[in-house]
Amino acid sequence: MKNFKAIVLVLTVAGLSLNFTSCKENNNEEGQDQMEMEENKMNHKGMDHDEAMKQQDHDANSKAMATNVEFEDEKTRDIFQHYIHVKTALVNADVSEAQKGGKMLMDAFGKEKAEAQSLARQIQQSDNIEEQRKSFSLLTVEMEDVLKGSLSSGEVYKQYCPMAFNNQGAYWISKDKEIRNPYFGDKMLKCGSTKEVIQ
């Protein structure tokens, strides 16, 4: 009988010990899960912060453009901003973003600039970066007419790449002096030069 009580006591202690250990492990797992959740929250906050920083950069760039270049009317300002949107998309070889910019540009031109609107539509409808670039080069000719005499302050830059389209050459208009070639993108990002300052 004493042996039986001793065995029961040992089994009870062993059971309690196992139960305590497994609870402790569960607590550790819960604690680890809690720590992982906190880390994930921090990472998401970091991502939100990164997105906020990108938005601030975008806002700062928009303000810089608005400060450096001002137009006689809002319509011309909008047209120019959408043109720059397309140019930037082409520099980055981003077909989808060029399509979005083409759509906004097409809407901004309206019916009174039918040729420019048609070229913007071609950019919007094409899923081929080279076709978009060709339409953009023709659109630049139309943009010159829109911009000349429309700036109330600041300046924009007419830039040229002699190697575009199998050495036929092509122009684009930029709000920055620094060359960012929309016809070659990162293949020849800095190929080109400023040929004229439009004021």
Q: Dump pLDDT digits (tens) for 33-67.
A: 444 444 444 444 444 444 443 343 434 343 334 34
CA atoms within 13 A on the CB side of 195: 13
The mean pLDDT of 165-192, rounded to a whole number, is 94
The residue behind tokens 């006689």 is 72
The answer, yes or no, to whether residue 97 has pLDDT greater than 90, is: yes
Question: What band does 181 get if pLDDT is binned at 50, 70 and 90?
Answer: very high
Could you tell me if 124 and 136 are in contact, meaning their C-beta atoms sit under 8 angstroms apart? no
Q: Quick one: angle between helices 74-91 and 95-109, nearest 10?
A: 160
Each residue of 19-38: pLDDT tens digit?
444 334 444 444 444 444 44
Q: What is the pLDDT of residue 169?
A: 96
Higher pLDDT, 179 or 69: 179
**Lookup result for tokens 């938005």:** 55
Threshold 0.75, pTM exceeds: no
Three-state secondary-structure class, residue 190:
coil
**Mean pLDDT, the chain, as a whole number?**
77
- pLDDT per residue as tens digits for the range 150-161: 889 899 999 999
Residue 1: band (very low, low, confident or very high) from pLDDT cuts 50, 70, 90: low
Distance CA(192)–CA(149), nearest Å, equals 25
Answer with the residue of higher pLDDT: 163 or 32.
163
Q: How far apart are CA 117 and CA 108, in angstroms?
A: 8
Q: Band of the pLDDT at 179, cuts 50, 70, 90?
A: very high
The single residue listed with the structure tokens 């120019």 is: 80
Of 29-43, 104-118, 127-141, 184-198, give the lowest mean pLDDT range: 29-43
DSSP E strand boundaries for the chain: 70-71, 151-153, 156-161, 170-174, 193-198
